[in-house]
Structure 1
């Protein structure tokens, strides 16, 4: 009985637990002003949704959102994923990926 109480006392952790909360990273878009050329983009993000086939091939990508639509970054992100592959798995899986373009 004493061994049971001693084991329980050793397992109890009296230190307070920290609140751990995970935040989704937000894409930061910054602009700098150049006196000669005007505003310059310093960061652009494009979020894609794709399907990973059981064979490992990535297909069916589409743009879910982009920070600066109409500037061609969505098409560039789709081109980057065109020949992408992942580790083969037991079934198809849909996933989202955010690609950040930096100068």
Structure 2
């Protein structure tokens, strides 16, 4: 009687029976690890305040704000503006300019 109950239980649940496939070693899928790409700096901007003199020369620039501080964009923006020229005017003028750096 017990043998009949076990036989019925095994036939009712086919996942319990052993087959040739279940004896084989499990298949292992290889895991491929890819390195993260280097981040692209997009939207880098530096706002400067400079002085335009009556002869058209620009100097005295200082950084008012920058999107990525400490990465050298502020110094690069100052180097771009200091020594540049604008149209001469009747008096010295202070102005602000935002420089956008694009990759």
Range of TM-score over shorter length: 0.5 to 0.7
Structure 1 residues not aligned, in runs of 5+: 1-34
Structure 2 residues not aligned, in runs of 5+: 1-34
Task: Number of aligned residue pairs: give it.
Answer: 69
> Structure 1 or 2: larger helix share?
2
Q: What is the root-mean-square deviation in Å for CA atoms of aligned residues?
A: 1.2
For residue 25 of structure 2, what is the aligned residue in structure 1? none
> Structure 1 or 2: larger strand share?
1
Give distance in 1, aligned partners of 2:53 and 2:82. Answer: 13
Please report the TM-score for the alignment, with normalisation by the length of structure 2: 0.63
Please report the TM-score for the alignment, with normalisation by the length of structure 1: 0.63
Give distance in 2, aligned partners of 1:39 and 1:91. Answer: 45
Contact 2:60–2:82, Cα closer than 8 Å, also in 1: no
Contact 2:52–2:93, Cα closer than 8 Å, also in 1: yes
For residue 71 of structure 1, what is the aligned residue in structure 2? 71
Give distance in 1, aligned partners of 2:82 and 2:95. Answer: 15
CA deviations on 1:49-76 (whole Å, 9 max, x unpaired) are 0000011110100000000000000000
- Following superposition of structure 1 onto structure 2, how do residues 18-57 of structure 1 map, counting pairs within 5 Å? 35-57=35-57
CA deviations on 1:3-59 (whole Å, 9 max, x unpaired) are xxxxxxxxxxxxxxxxxxxxxxxxxxxxxxxx5434221220000000000111101
For residue 95 of structure 1, what is the aligned residue in structure 2? 95
For residue 82 of structure 2, what is the aligned residue in structure 1? 82
